[in-house]
Amino acid sequence: MTNDTSGRGSGDPLGRPLTAAQGIERVSGVQAGDTGGQGEAGDRSLENAVREDVNEFKEFASEHTEQAKAAVGRAVEDEKNVAARQLSGVAAALEKVGNELEQSDQRAIGRYAKQIGTSLQGFARKAEGRNLGEIAGMVEDFGRKQPLAFLGMAAIAGLAASRFLTASPPRRDGRDASGRTRQSSEKEPYNG
């Protein structure tokens, strides 16, 4: 018996490495194709074990997929209802602005703002508790039935977003609200 652990075939003058089958034969003492009387039964038990493992994995994956779907559905539902409540708050603010403008010398603008607020309030009430497909259909219908309110809502959303971005305080890290790095000429002067 030799102590050669290089994996080279014994008696191989070229010193080539063993093939996988030769390595198994050397370790197990069983030649390839020799079933040792257990071949078919062993293959069946291995096949059954693999089949059981695959079935268990499928069940595990199916259970966890359903749990993930349910969690995502709950999160979407919560966020959708929060958005509907926020829209309702914006609508109430628009109605209030409309009332104040109607009391001033800008009655026409006040009336439009009040109508937009009332329409948005109704839309927000209808949207709460609906699925996303129904809400998308409602938005399309709202845009068709109330184009002025729809365009007003889009304009107000754009105005609010631009006001929010321009009103945010300067950052100490040299970036503005949009995330761009300010030029040295744009930085605030040192008031030491």
The whole model's pTM is what? 0.43
42 found inside a domain: no
At 8, phi and psi to the nearest 5? -90, 150
6 found inside a domain: no
95 found inside a domain: yes
The per-residue pLDDT for range 114-157, each reduced to its tens digit, is 888 888 888 888 888 787 788 888 888 888 887 877 787 777 77
Domain that holds residue 75: 47-163
Q: Looking at 93-97, 98-102, 130-134, 178-182, which range is the least confident one?
A: 178-182
Reported as a pLDDT band with limits 50, 70 and 90, residue 170 is: low
Residue 77: CB atoms within 10 Å = 14
Number of folded domains in the chain? 1
The torsion angle over the Cα atoms of residues 98, 99, 101 and 106, rounded to 10 degrees, is 90
